[in-house]
Amino acid sequence: MGIWDRAKNIAKSYISDGVDKIADKIDDFLDSDGDAPDKLSDEEMEEILRGAGYYSSQADPRKQADLKKAYDRLGVLQGMTLDQIEKAYKKEMIKYHPDKFGDSSKKEMATKVSQELGEAIAIIRKELKNKDK
């Protein structure tokens, strides 16, 4: 089994576990008849997700979304080591380095991608540094 197959299996198990956790937390919001409320407030939904372990009470859901986008942008999985992530970052930076392109429109695109990659690695480094504290 290759690394990507293992990664897919791990992701599937996290998704399955996550769905079960969310379902358990939603059960806490059911009334005595087992009926769901017509609408959950943002605070109630946040409480469900926090209870399922998707983010801590201190974490901002927007920061979590930015972190997910950063991992996606670099094409890496959460849980990889910083060394693995930086290796992927360097590979992408070499691929999209603006100096590799002579055409101004391609150079412009490469500059934008390079900036996005830089922002992504900065977000991930900051998160991992804070996690180590």
- Residue 57 pLDDT: 40
pLDDT at 119 over 70: yes
User: How large a percentage of the chain has pLDDT more than 90?
Assistant: 30
Check if the beta carbon of residue 82 is closer than 8 Å to that of residue 114: no
- Residue 39 pLDDT: 63
User: How large a percentage of the chain has pLDDT more than 70?
Assistant: 53
Confidence of residue 85 (pLDDT cuts 50, 70, 90): very high
DSSP 64-126: HHHHHHHHHHHT--TT--HHHHHHHHHHHHHHT-GGG--SHHHHHHHHHHHHHHHHHHHHHHH
Confidence of residue 18 (pLDDT cuts 50, 70, 90): low
- Residue ranges covered by each domain of the chain: 1-58, 60-133
pLDDT at 50 over 50: yes
Classify domain 60-133 by CATH number.
1.10.287
